[in-house]
């Protein structure tokens, strides 16, 4: 699931120069009038900023009356029977204008398929490989509050590297931590020999907050790159029709910026 904020003054820092950015187009807008603000995979990593606020940092995700939330939702059913499912979202918010001296949060989205729908082909069917994003030079400056990430089965870790030297975040994948993330093939083996399903799925991704962030300040003279590390020998991936399933490598950095920040194209 990908959530986008759509409205006047909204823009996507890593895709606003791409007038055909697919995730924005998919919800009826473009990257100069919306930005991706959150994503969740099967591991359901929370984007919890309350510890940062409790430490004395005055930051929040400011919503305007002209904003809309739009979503890209992808559901996966590993069973051979139909199921009815429900997606429920609950929002807590404070009414009124942003408080004095508070900073707004701008999500910066890093992706191995930047400005696409995030699906990339694995480089190998076995062993280790790494998928990367293109280098990105920031167009905003501010304190990096936190980072969340997403990989598919077979992934080891997602790294966000600054200036080819410093890890801003090293997010590690954990597998099968509870029974809900361990797949058991039905007795009938109805999936067939051309479909391989990993037994243990990614159940959590570590996040980067506070001292876990290797680069606390985003500046316009830096270069940021995302790298998704996979190893199918250590953690099997999934396949369909005899071919490895497509994978993802996504990272979201939340950067504190002034609430009246203007996009660079205005």
What gap in Å lies between CA 226 and CA 110, rounded to an integer? 6
Distance between CA atoms of residues 199 and 205, nearest Å? 18
Q: What is the pLDDT of residues 15-60, one digit of tens each?
A: 999 989 999 999 999 999 999 999 989 898 887 777 778 888 899 9
pLDDT score at 11: 97
φ and ψ of 65, to 5 deg: -65, -20
DSSP letter for 33, please. Answer: S
Q: How confident is the model at residue 240 (pLDDT cuts 50, 70, 90)?
A: confident
What is the pLDDT, as a whole number, of residue 81? 80
Instruction: Give residue limits of the domains in the chain.
Output: 2-257
Alpha-carbon gap, residue 251 to 221, rounded angstroms: 20
Place of tokens 């004395």: 56
**How many whole angstroms separate alpha carbon 65 and alpha carbon 134?**
34
**Percentage of the chain lying above the pLDDT 90 cut:** 70
Q: How many residues does the chain have?
A: 266
Please state, as a whole number, how many other Cβ atoms lie within 10 Å of the Cβ of residue 68: 14
- The whole-model pTM stands at 0.92
Is residue 237 a contact partner of residue 258, using CB atoms and an 8 Å limit?
Answer: no
């Amino acid at each position: 699931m990908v959530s986008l904020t759509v409205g006047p003054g909204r823009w996507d820092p890593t895709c606003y120069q791409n007038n055909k950015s697919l995730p924005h187009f998919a919800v009826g807008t473009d990257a100069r009038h919306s930005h991706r603000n959150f994503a969740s995979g099967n591991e359901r990593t929370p984007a919890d900023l309350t510890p940062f606020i409790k430490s004395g940092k005055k930051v929040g995700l400011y919503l305007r009356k002209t904003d809309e939330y739009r979503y890209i939702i992808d559901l996966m059913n590993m069973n051979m029977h139909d199921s009815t499912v429900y997606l429920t979202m609950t929002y807590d918010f404070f009414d009124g204008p942003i408080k004095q001296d508070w900073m707004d949060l701008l999500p910066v989205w890093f992706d191995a398929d930047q400005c696409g729908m995030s699906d990339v082909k694995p480089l190998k069917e076995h062993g280790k490989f790494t998928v990367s994003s293109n280098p990105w030079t920031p167009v905003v400056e501010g304190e990096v509050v936190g980072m969340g990430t997403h990989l598919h089965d077979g992934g080891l870790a997602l790294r966000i590297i600054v200036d080819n030297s410093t890890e801003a975040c090293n997010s590690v994948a954990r597998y099968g931590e509870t029974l809900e993330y361990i797949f058991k093939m039905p007795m009938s083996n109805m999936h067939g020999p051309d479909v391989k399903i990993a037994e243990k799925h990614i159940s959590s991704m570590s996040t980067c907050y506070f001292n876990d962030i290797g680069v606390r300040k985003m500046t316009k003279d830096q270069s940021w790159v995302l790298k998704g590390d996979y190893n199918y020998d250590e953690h099997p991936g999934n396949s369909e029709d005899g071919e490895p399933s497509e994978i993802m490598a996504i990272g979201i950095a939340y950067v504190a910026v002034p609430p009246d920040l203007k996009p660079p194209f205005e």
